[in-house]
Structure 1
Amino acid sequence: MKWISIAAAVVLAGCGIIYNSPRVAQGTDASGINVAVVPVTPSTLAEANASPYKPRALPAAFHTTTGGPRAGRSAPTLPEPPYRPETRPAGLELRVPPPAPETPYRIGVEDELRLAVPQSGSTAAELAGLLAKATARQGYRVQDDGTISIPDVGRVHVAGLTLAEAEDAIFDKLVAAGVNPVFSLEVSDFRSQRVTIGGAVGKPAVVPITLSPLRLVEALNAAGGIQLADDEYASIRIFRNGRLYQIPVRDYYARAELQNLRLKDRDSIFVDTDFDVEKAAAYFEQQIRLSSLRHQERVQALSELTAEMDFRRRQLDEVRGLFMGQLELDAVERDYVYLAGEVGKQTRIALPFGRRATLADALYADGGGFRIETGDARQVYVLRGAGDAAEPGRVTAWQLDLSNIGNMVLATRFELRPNDIVFVAEQPVTRWSRVIKQLSPSLILSTI
């Protein structure tokens, strides 16, 4: 009697009389749903992916950076970034500053001048007091008004003059004072013109410009030379007159004209060793703040720029935070696909923002996949309703046969659309096993 009951249960299960499980049936059923089963092959894959679909986009706040100052802003020109920090450059761009004019040295404020006279004749006697005082003061310092003060002679304006022009001016003053104008003039201490060097050098320094033109190689050597472990993406940045120029280190070593580049007063040189421009920005900001003792408006402009960028950054963070909160509360309109049948977990999966998901993504999202022991690998379906409102009952069942695992390549190329249903059918033996499992209590009781 027991064996007769078991045999009857197996037959009834195969007929779908006492056990019904989801399956894909081709044709039109009583509800009017017309299912067309189409195998997924390399030739039909293009047809499946041809249906129009544009993934939902992230809010604009996720594609926006704080940027720079707004147009029309009244502020001094700030250094331009050599490349965008988000993108690793394929190669560093060479931007050489324009050649500095070949002009003679001009005396400036804070330079120290020294007069020298012959040690014989009446000239030495006439200038004895002048020499004694000059020796005691270690020369004549050019004052803020551009003059030097010579005892018994008066003030002589020398700032902005070459040595020859300064000698002429002092000569005229000595003659006017009745002093024999036999003398020589030299700059004993150069302080008015200088170049700053920082970054990956032996010792950051301030190098004065003297009577001889200051070359880039001389300035770097005066700062201890370039100190780099890898020069592939290293660069020498020169900040001049509010603009940023860049010389890749490899180009610098390979080209003599770059090494002999003539520097100008107030040039700032920074040897950068990586892609992060924050160090260079900090260095230039430091130079701007140092010069702000004479140009306070630059500090104010820099402060306004920083405040503006901080404000924009807070705005972006707030918009992004609100969106993430809405996303967590499921308050954002999303596109979904659904997993059903013999899968690791029957659930819905949100389609990603800004890109298209594939069947393989859905099958293996969050470590899911279909259940090999119960699922029929030959019957993996993607059920897709008709996009035409005139045919609401038409459903296309794209069938992928994964009994040949090579077809998994097609799963990685099969694009999903909103409201697709990914369904894995059960194996026939699974259906029989479940019928027997559900009937086994009754069979056991029937034998008692």
Structure 2
Amino acid sequence: MKPLFLALGLVLTGCGAAYISPSVPGPAENENVRVIPLTAQSVRIANATPYQPRALPGAFFETTGDVNAMQAQTGRLPSPAFSEQRRPGTVETRLPPPVLGTPYEIGIGDVVVLATRQGGTTVEELSGLLAAQSRRQGYTVQDDGAIAIPDVGRVQIAGLTLEEAEAALFQRLVESQIDPTFSIEIAEFNSKRVSIGGAVRNPTVAPITLTPLFLQEVLAVAGGVVAPDRDFVTIRLYRDGQLYQLPLRDLPRYSIRLQADDSIFVDTDFELEQAQAYFTEQIQLAQFRQSSRIQALNELNTEVDLRRAVLEEQRANFQAQVTLDAVPRDYVYLSGEVRQQSRFLLPFGRQATLADAFYDQGGALLETADPSEIYVLRASTDPARADEIVAWHLDAEDATNFVLATRMELRPNDVIFVAEQPITRWNRAISQSIPSLITTGVSAVTN
């Protein structure tokens, strides 16, 4: 039998009809080929080869934007002009300490009038009196606390009562050998004042004179309190860095004497008109909010439609380029006893496995493929070993090894090769040789 096969081989070789089957050579046949069985450990080594899958353009990940932020920008409301008015609670009464009843002391800025007796006729005396009255500016207490009197000089009277000032002037007149007959009075009180403001008709500054000044009097001088609801009016008194207060309704119960530099403010904790204006404004703001939301929604829908149209156009353009094979792609090639000799596109944005490519193209031909001879052929990435080919060998005769196919990641330009069964190789050789033998025999008989 063996001589017959040998003779048949010689005949086929002579006829040029010998069948040649592709296979993966071992290291003994080709030193540049390394065959590595696929195991759980070798799969991890194979997957360690660096590879970054190609990414889809940004248009596939973009959305129409933050709807809430866009709506907030287009529907922004104006700032309110009025603040909400809340009815205050009970105001704590804090009264100032009582002011001692001391005589008035002349101060800087006060204007004093000196009346002196003049000799001569009645007309001359009257003229002298009028002249003295017209010289008030000359008797204004200066910054140094003195007044300047002709023929007498400067006399210090600031900080003195009227009696003390009269005694000091008498002494200076005697020293100047001038008739010490005179009278002194204060014409203008400018050194001691009290200010009042807030919810009063006429905010003003009231002077403190020889008679005591009380809080009720200052309110009267300012024209009284002006407030729609007097139950919520508070009088605040600032004195020597301290704040005192009491409700307006309790003012008749107290007699508060004021002193120099007191500051009074009539405070309306609740303003009825402002409260009404606030609620009116809130109604207007609600109406504006409703209309602005409708307008913002329309603008938002228009902008979303425009953005969506742009994104859809970008995506459609990219998909058309992919269909026309006009964009770079990564491929894996399938060869041998597979359902279809083809190339498999590596997907965008993720890794693909041997199982993905193998079964996407229909898998192996069950009648002719050798399940124990499935290879992933990969060129070496080491520049020093550029000619080396690594053949990752999957022995699928043991069906459990197909699990390794689901873990084995593919790289660009990998070749998946499935070898044929030995019987398939023999059948193909026979089917190819028989027509050649018949042709050879006929030719011999003819000749």
TM-score, scaled to structure 1: 0.48
Structure whose CA Rg is larger:
2
More helix by share: 2
